[in-house]
Structure 1
Amino acid sequence: MPYELRPHTADIAVAATGRTLSAVFEATADGLAAASCDELIDSGEQLDITASAESLEALLFEYLDELIYVRDVELVLPVDHEVSIAERAGGWELEGRARGIPLDEIDAREVKAVTYADMRIEETAAGWEAYVVFDV
């Protein structure tokens, strides 16, 4: 599994790995979904997700924050994440897709927000690692 849920005081953290930058973003988003729901179902429609920021850490924050926003506004849990990330002049851009499972079809817990507390994303010899704390 490319992510692991970890307790973090009153919150929950996701530690994720991936061979590529896109893969670690996807794994972190999968961890967010796992923190929200134990059992996923196959229903749901495709969602398009975009984010941009000046740094990779800020891009990861913006992406996860957008997933939480979509959940709250569209009442769906984004799962099955696919992203592509590109470095542009002045920053980073992310284009992604996910499947939105209607919240009324699952038993979901509320993850309130992504935080910058202890957040990190870094390249390693094996690929990429990310660590993100969520307010629950």
Structure 2
Amino acid sequence: MREHVTDEDDASDQPTDATERTRGQFELRDHTADVAVAASAETLGGVFAAVADGLTAAMCDEVPATGERFAVTVRAESREAALFDYLDQCIYERDVRLVLPVDHRARVERVDGEWVVEASARGVPLSEVVARDVKAVTYSEMELAETDDGEWRAYVVFDV
């Protein structure tokens, strides 16, 4: 079990693609033959980013400070489907761009009946890291909920 707390970005590091980063944290948990990420944050976008940071940690122990930021946008019918599609897109970007998506930022809003995720990540070239394969995100045991005190929590299992 590995735990990580993400730091808030200062104003000088704000992305230009309208994404946000709020203080969030994640914890990697063993899950049968898979790996799970439990995350929490003050905002829905923050918890999406924290789960994506957990996905990164499941793939790689040490991340260099290289790579260019890229944008990701997904739309879905439900919050859970938006989280699934966002994480699936991160894995797709890894496979197509040959980069490890790191330093995730996300904004999640309901627009015209759809959940829209506007996100960005820094793409570290896979040639610069030793990465483990995470095959896919799953709906198995997925949880996404706002607590009574207004914090967002998520639990996602990844197929390895």
**Residues 78-129 of structure 1: CA deviation (Å, up to 9, x unaligned):** 0011111110122200111110000010000000000000001000025100
State the secondary structure of the residue aligned to 2:54: helix
What is the rounded CA distance, in whole Å, between the counterparts of 1:108 and 1:47 in structure 2?
A: 20
Match of 2:103 in 1: 80
Match of 2:158 in 1: 134
What is the rounded CA distance, in whole Å, between the counterparts of 1:58 and 1:97 in structure 2?
A: 18
Q: Which runs of 5+ in 2 are unaligned?
A: 6-24
Q: TM-score, normalised by structure 1?
A: 0.98
Instruction: Please give the residue correspondences for 1:1-80 in structure 2 after superposition, counting only pairs within 5 Å.
Output: 1=5, 2-80=25-103
The structure whose residues are more often strand, as a share, is: 1
What is the rounded CA distance, in whole Å, between the counterparts of 1:13 and 1:83 in structure 2?
A: 20
What is the rounded CA distance, in whole Å, between the counterparts of 1:98 and 1:73 in structure 2?
A: 15
Q: Higher RCO, 1 or 2 (CA under 8 Å, sep at least 6)?
A: 1
State the secondary structure of the residue aligned to 2:53: helix
Q: TM-score, normalised by structure 2?
A: 0.83
After TM superposition, the runs of 4+ consecutive aligned structure 1 residues lying more than 6 A away are: none
Aligned residues: CA RMSD:
0.7
Q: Which runs of 5+ in 1 are unaligned?
A: none
Match of 1:92 in 2: 115
